[in-house]
Structure 1
Amino acid sequence: MPLSASLSSRLRLPLIAAPMFLVSGPALVKAACRGGVIGSFPTANCRTSEELEAWLDDLQDDLARTADATGRSPAPFCPNLIVHRSNPRLTDDLASVLRHKTEVVITSVGSPEPVLKPLKDAGCLVLADVASVRHAEKAVAAGVDGLVLLTAGAGGQTGWANPFAFTRAVRAFWKGIVVMAGGMADGHAVAAAEALGCDLAYMGTKFIATQESMAKDAYKAMLVRSRLDDVLLTRAFTGLETNMLRPSIEAAGLDPANLPSRGAIDIAKDINAAARERPDARRWKDIWSAGHAVSGVSGVPSVAELIERTAAEYAAARRSMQLVET
């Protein structure tokens, strides 16, 4: 497995709590890391670069205290840098990440090349979101350490590829870290991803419906009520293929069957505070995303409870695989 022994020893599960826009905050990230799962968050969830500094300070301090109290290093936290040219804060956010000597970083919405050298020079493990084999090949050529495969089941901005075919196509030319994103409904799915040749899995939707997430209570309740058939793939709100919840679209007074091909507001680009607070943006704040794993959301547990349950499922799946092998 390409993961280093020092990193693997700190993980209870080969899992990343996925970075989720306006959902992943310090409470969720810290709880995930304490539970032995990599906790990630988009740096765009901080309204300013100064707020990002405060988040990073808080995360480092909390995890250091956890290590002192338990005698065991928790899993690392992982900022997600939006590297698209429309992100006006990329330079400042990158500088903050480098100052804090972050162990792992995810890059998304564009080529990782502009940030790769400084991150690698700082000893950071760089994982790049990719949605096609061509994008994977370009990221590998740029020098990333790992690939996050966005498959058709991912919530928010998603991929189109079948996870089985995508993983095997990438493994044909890449021996580095592979992370599967999309459809991680439980520990059985995590074990299946590992059996396919992945080193880690992303779990997003189920972490939205936890007590520590920044999601609104109504959003969490809608996830509990929803199932896979309530997930709609559309370009209407971001201009990119995005998995969204039909009930939230209907609640906004829109007909999911008659959405524009592209919405007036590009959520992927509205990453600064001024854009989020525009009056014409408010309508979109309660249109929520979810992945295909939504059918697995049955309640709103704490992050610790979710990890405990997922770990038990993962262990059961691994035992089943071993029985088949013998």
Structure 2
Amino acid sequence: MINRQWLLASRPEGSIEDTNFSYKECEVPNRELKPNEILVKNLLFLCAPTMRNWMSPPGNSLYPSIPLGSPIMAPAIAVVIESASAEYAPGDRVSTRAGWQDYEILSTDLVPVGKIPDEMTSVDAMGKFGLNSLTGYFGMLEVGQPKENDVVVVSGAAGATGSVAAQIARIKGCRVIGIAGGDQKCRWLTEECQLDAAVNYKNATVEEELRQLCPDGINVYYDNVGGDILQAAIENMAVKGRIVLCGQISSYNDDKPSEGPRNMMRLIYGSITMQGFLTRNYTDNFPSAISNLKTWYEQGKVLFKEDVREGFENLPLFYRALFDGSNDGVLLVQINSD
């Protein structure tokens, strides 16, 4: 059998280009499995903005840098083909981190692996109840800690993570304002997700818009973007406000580190906290989080948008959609059937 692969051919400098990837075909791994290893067939990949950091040279993030000539690393849904682990049997579907390839041997001691319930589809496991939704959930509730009547602002609010974070704040009784790019996205936030207001950063001065919408300041700001929008929120934070640092997509394609706040004294005198987090810090709480998300979804309290595409050959093309804004929800690519 042929094992298709997309490899990291060169490290991106600025925007991702076709030349950063190379396609290869090789044989399926055929060695004897070591204890706690599994051979999996990858079914579906999540296209996540943070993968851009993994393509950078070592030292840019606490995740390992993808070595040149190795498959692109991504969150994945896979099915177990062979197993030397007591926890996983052939036929089990798992959520894991894998390379852009059809088949792979994974060590369950080194890579996070979790079983997917039989009643849950692969798309739902990586979409509605997957990594992006869990990131929005834990970032808002564990780090932001919204209280009833708080004023909450979320950037990247029409995205897969931001929309969940914003809707959870609304469920908790907060006044919620989303920041997004485009009138259509803003209408979706206010009309469908029932946010109180939305700011289109493409045709508004965000700092001034937030000043008008939040005259008493922002209690919780959930940041997916960084850069000037983060600074606009800082200038409008309330005393003892909380800033949740989730992502910095505005600078992922830059060749230099993300810039920090330009007015640190505002943070000091305002007793404002800024905290980053990783979703994997809350792994033990995944089951309860998924249960809550499912309940809210069934009650019609939270909406999800999934942009599901097909075709292994188009993985690099689809991934770039994250950075030109052409995706419509959590971006998933199906490459194989069960």
**Same fold, TM-score > 0.5, yes or no:** no
Larger CA Rg, structure 1 vs 2: 2
Structure with the largest fraction of strand: 2
Q: Structure 1 length as normaliser, TM-score? A: 0.31
Structure with the largest fraction of helix: 1
